[in-house]
Chains A and B, each alone.
Chain A
Amino acid sequence: MTGLTVRDLKVVFDGFVAVGGVDLDVPAGDVRFIIGPNGAGKTTLVDAITGLARATGTVTFDGQELLGRKVHRIARLGVGRTFQNSTVFEELTVLQNLDIAAGWHRGPLTLLRRRTSIPPRVQAALETIRLTAVRDQLAGTLPHGQKQWLEIGMLLVQDAKLFLLDEPVAGMSHEERDATGELLGELSRDHTVVVIEHDMDFLRRFARTVTVMHAGRILSEGTVAEVQADPRVQEVYLGHSVEA
C-alpha cells in the first residue's frame, strides 16, 4: 500500500477554477482531515478523485491512475466515498444496503438467486458500525447518525481501501461524534481515511494530519498543532466563524 498521491490537480467549471493545481500525499493508514472555508474546493477535490468531476493532472492510488476512469471503475479499485447528505437506499433494509454494497463482483447466477444467509463480511461490518440490532429495519427510518454509520459500513463491505468521508459528523450528537471518531481510529488500522470536516473540536481530537485548503489550493499541511500555529491559516480563518 502506497496511499493516495495527487499531482497538479485542476478542476475548472465554465471558467471558474474550483481546484487550481493541488498536490497531496496521503500515506497508507493515515487519518487525514481536509479543512477550509466554504468554497475552498474540498468536495470538488473528492469529486475529482472519485471520477464525478472532470479534472486534469494525475491522481494515483496504490500505483493505479484514477483520472479518466469511470466512476464505477474507480470504485472497483478500492476508492469509496460518502456524501454530505447521506444517500443510503431508504426503501431497503440495513442488511440489504450492506449486501448490495458488498456485491459488485457477483456474477449473474448469484445475482439471480436470493440471499439465503448473511455474508460474513456483512456480519462483521454490522458489528463494527453497531447496527446489528436494526439490520432488518428500513434504512430510511434510521436516525441521521446511524445513516452515516451505515454509509461507512457500506464502504467497509465494498472493500474500499481509501475512505473519502464528506462531513461524516455533521448533525450528529456528541455521543455519536465520539463513537464515529473511535470508528475512524479502528478503520485506519487497515484503511487510508480522508475526512472533509468543519467541526474543529472533532478535528483536534481525531485527526492525525491536516490539510488546509483555500480558494482551490493547499494552504498548509501538517499535524493539528502545526496547522493551528500557521499564520496563513489564522489569516484565512479570521472573519470566518470557526465552528468549535
Chain B
Amino acid sequence: MTTLQDPVIAPDPTIQPATRRFGAGTGSRAVIGFGLAAVALFGLAPVVLGDFRLGLLAKYLCLAIVAVGIGLAWGRGGMLTLGQGVFFGLGGYAMAMHLKLTDAGPGQLPDFMQLYGQLDTLPWWWKPFASPAFALAATVLLPMLVALLLGLLIFRRRVRGAYFAILSQALCAALAIFLIGQQGTTGGTNGLTDIQGFFGYDLNDPLNRRTVYFVVAAALLAVLGIAWQLMRSRYGELLVAVRDGEERVRFLGYDPANVKLVAYVVAAGMAGLAGALFVPAVGIISPAMIGVVPSIEFVIGVAVGGRAGLVGPALGAIAVAWARTALSERLPSAWTYFEGLLFILPVVFLPGGLASLAVLLRRRTAKKEVAA
C-alpha cells in the first residue's frame, strides 16, 4: 500500500496505461504486430524450415494455442488452469475419432477395435463422430460445454486459488485414467494412433502436411485475434478487476462467477481447438498427452513467456517446446531438470515472464531520461 509520503501526483512517465502495459495495445500497433506474425508464420517459416522442422513447428503452434487460452484465464483471470489437458484431450479425441472412422471406411470398425476384439458394432457414442460437421463442432463446443458445467459448479461455490488448481489437475488425471481403462473403445494407453488422412487428404504426403501447418498457423492467428479483442474490451478490464479484487467486484453489482466463467470457457474452447489440430499435425492422441504432466507443461510455457500479456504465453509455449526438442535431442536425461528450473526461475525472479523484460528495460531507460 502506498503511504502519504508517496509524492506521485503528476502523471508518472514511467508508468504505462494498463492497456499498453499488458501488450494489448492500440489498433495500429496491433495491426503491425499481426502483420509481422503473419509474415513470420506464412512467409518465413515455410521457406526457412524443412518438412520435418515445419512439422515440429506445427506441433508447437498447437501448444501455443492452448497457451493463449491459459494467458486469458490465468494471466488475466487469475485462474491457475493446471488441467487444460482435459479440454485439449476432448478436442483431440473428438477429431481423432472422426479421422479413425474415415480411415476405416464406411461401416468398418477402426483398426484398434478389431485388434482388441470384443466389439462387433461401433459403440453408440462413436457414431455421431462419423459426421465431419458434428466432429468439427464437437472439437471446440464439447470442451466449452464441459468447462461451462464445471465452471458453474466451481465458481458458484467460490473455489479458487490452490484449490482450483488442484481440482483442475485432478480432473485431467481422472480423464487420462478413464481413457486408459477403456482400451476396447478408446485405444487405452496407446491412444488413437496411426492416423492416415485428414478430410480426404493423405497425411503421408509432405505437401498435405505443409497444408496442415498453414491451418494451424491460421488458427493461432485467429485465436490471438479473439484474445486481443477480449483483453482490450471492457470485459478484459473487468476480468483483471475480478482477478485482483473478486469481493470488491461483487460490491459493484457484478457476479464474479459469471465473469470468470466466460474466460474459463473461452480458454477451454481454445485448448479443444488445439487438441483437434494436434491430431493431424502429429498423427496421434493418447492419454500421455493430456494427463497431469502435459497439463503442467502448458502452464510452464505461459509462465516463461509472461502470463498477463497477449503474445507472451504463445511465444513462451513455442520457446519451451523448442528447447525441449533441442535439449532432449542432445541430452535426453537433462530435460526434466531443466524444465523444473524453467518453471521456478520466472516464478521467483521474473513473475511477468520474458515479456516483462521489455517493460523493465523501457522503464529503466525512461527513468534515466527523467533523471538526466
**Chain A residues engaging chain B, CB cutoff 8 angstroms:** 50, 70-72, 75-76, 80-81, 83, 85-87, 89-93, 96-97, 99-101, 103-106, 110-115, 133-134, 136-138, 140-145, 147, 154, 158, 171-173
Contacts and interface: CB of A to CB of B under 8 A. Distances in A.
Contact of B254 (A104, A110, A133, A141): A104
A145 B7 CA distance: 12
A137 B11 contact: yes
Given A112-B235, A115-B234, A93 B18 contact: yes
Nearest to A89: B241
B253 A114 contact: no
Given A76-B253, A114-B232, A141 B238 contact: no
17 contacts: A72-B251, A72-B252, A75-B252, A80-B251, A83-B248, A86-B1, A91-B18, A92-B244, A97-B241, A99-B237, A100-B238, A104-B253, A111-B235, A134-B9, A142-B8, A143-B4, A144-B4
Interface string B236-251: 0110110011011111
- In the complex, which of the residues B232, B250, B253 has the most CB atoms of chain A within 10 Å of its own CB atom? B253
Interface string B1-44: 11110101111100101100000000000000000000000000
Contacts of A86: 1
Interface string B262-299: 00000000000000000000000000000000000000
B233 interface: yes
B229 interface: yes
Nearest to A171: B4
Contact of A137 (B12, B229, B235): B12
Contact of B2 (A115, A141, A158): A141
B240 A91 contact: yes
B252 A100 contact: yes
A87 B233 contact: no
B245 A87 contact: yes
A92 B240 contact: yes
Contact of B245 (A50, A89, A133, A147): A89
Interface of B: 1-4, 6, 8-12, 15, 17-18, 229-230, 232-235, 237-238, 240-241, 244-245, 247-255
B126 to A, nearest CB: 36
Contacts of A133: 9-11
A141 B8 contact: yes
Contacts of A101: 252
B237 A92 contact: yes
B23 to A, nearest CB: 14
Contacts of A71: 247, 250-251
Given A112-B229, A114-B232, A144 B252 contact: no
A84 B252 CA distance: 16
Contacts of A136: 11, 17
Contacts of A85: 1
B238 A93 contact: no
Contacts of A145: 4
Nearest to A110: B234
A119 to B, nearest CB: 11
B234 A113 contact: yes
Contacts of B254: 72, 103-104
A83 B248 CA distance: 9
Nearest to A77: B253
Contacts of B232: 114
Contacts of B229: 112, 114
A113 to B, nearest CB: 6
B233 A112 contact: yes
B18 A87 contact: no
Contacts of A140: 2
A166 to B, nearest CB: 12
B253 A75 contact: yes
A96 B244 contact: no
Given A75-B252, A91-B244, 12 more contacts: A71-B250, A72-B254, A93-B18, A96-B237, A96-B241, A104-B253, A112-B235, A133-B10, A134-B9, A134-B11, A171-B4, A173-B4
Q: Nearest 10 CB-CB pairs, A to B?
A: A104-B253, A75-B253, A111-B235, A71-B250, A89-B241, A87-B248, A76-B253, A96-B237, A72-B250, A143-B6
A133 B9 CA distance: 9
Contacts of B238: 100, 103, 111
B250 A75 contact: yes
Contacts of A92: 18, 237, 240-241, 244
B11 A106 contact: no
Contacts of A70: 255
Contacts of B233: 111-114
B227 to A, nearest CB: 12
